Amino acid sequence: MLNPRPTSPELHVNLDALIANYSWFCAQAPNSKTGVALKANAYGIGMDAVGPALLEAGCTVFFVAHISEGVRLRRLLGSAPLIYVLHGAATGEVEVMLAHRLYPVLNSRPQIALWRNDGAGAPAALHVDTGMNRTGLPFAELPETKFDELNLQMIMSHLACAATPEHPLNEIQRDRFLQVTRQFPGIAASFCNSAGVLLGDEYHFDLTRIGIGLFGASPLHASLPPPPLTPVARIQAPIIQLKTVSKSETVGYGGTFCAPGAMQIAILAYGYADGLPRSVGATSFGWVGKTPTSILGRVSMDLTVVDVSQVKKPLEIGDHIEFLGPDLDAFAQSCNGEAYEILTSISPRVKRVYKREAS
């Protein structure tokens, strides 16, 4: 008979660890302000808790992707901080942006024209594409674009290869961005993401924009030593059933895992509808204390099976298997993904539990 303890996964977030990571990035660029990107519900961690915690820690500049995220963040943080919308302004959104003091990041000539005509002189940022070929005004169009009647408060660009410090595109983009800043003397410049901060002083300019590093994941390529960041989030997946399987029995849909011998298994209330990728492989695992528990077979929508044969302590229904934690990057790699994907895929139905005491 099942024990009636909680049977839903939870995301446990240490906000003190988050602030420790923020402070670490601030210390790496002491001559620059440190802004933060809280797009995608603060990378899946939860904007409602993360935003106020960072504001309390002294952060005054925030970035979001969508206008809806900006409106939500403004309601959370009040009128004081600056909030930039990375996707810029679109027809029908200008009034909302003005009403909530959201500043668009202008990425194209049409956006520049729209804000010039309808923005009522409100501040904006200009994003110039220096080599990523994603959003941003193309570098080649800069000399022939007019910026009169714009209240530009920031010039920015985005590094494409900062995760690989030796990549030649980093210096190419930096040199182009230096040319951009010379055209806008006296206006604040922002260039670095989390990985960019680690490239050194010549990349910092006036404001850095950190994202994934806040949450304890390394912003660098997996082959490089990670910076000393503190893990922020861990999934607690509850055990809802315990079983013994015999040699040659299979586990899960398709029978893709065949037991090599008798095994103790735990069925968890945690599946791909909660954000656990179906791409997990033979090297994907959770933890009981320091003991790894390998994932067996295919992940189901609401259930996952793990091998608990090596766990020494007796397990009960309602106990938890931990995922992410100090091994977020390794876990993401075992899913053929990155930490960004793992965090932002965590389902809204996973309860967020926040704490402030250091751990």
Q: Exactly one of 247, 253, 351, 355 is catalytic; name it.
A: 253
The yes-or-no answer on residue 253 being catalytic is yes
User: DSSP of 221-255, one letter per residue?
Assistant: -TTSPPP-PPP-EEEEEEEEEEEEE-TT-EESGGG
Closest CA to 214 of 198, 197, 225, 230: 230
Secondary-structure breakdown of the chain: helix, strand, coil percentages, each rounded to the nearest 5? 30, 25, 45
Q: Exactly one of 22, 33, 39, 43 is catalytic; name it.
A: 39
Closest CA to 25 of 257, 261, 241, 197: 197
Instruction: Please enumerate in sequence order all residues whose Cβ is within 8 A of that of 152, keeping only pairs 6 or more positions apart, or say none.
Output: 123, 124, 125, 126, 184, 187
Where do we find the tokens 């009981």? 288
Q: How distant, in Å, are the alpha carbons of 2, 111, 122, 142 from that of 108?
A: 58, 5, 17, 10
Q: Are 128 and 177 in contact (CB under 8 A)?
A: yes
Return the exposure string of 202-227: e unless at least 16 CB atoms fall within 10 Å of the residue's CB, then b: ebbbbbbbbbbbbbbbbbbeeeeeeb
Kindly state the tokens that stand for 116. 């010039």
Q: Work out the angle between the directed axes of helices 47-56 and 67-77 (0-180°, nearest 10).
A: 50
Q: Are 160 and 173 in contact (CB under 8 A)?
A: yes
Active site positions, annotated: 39, 253
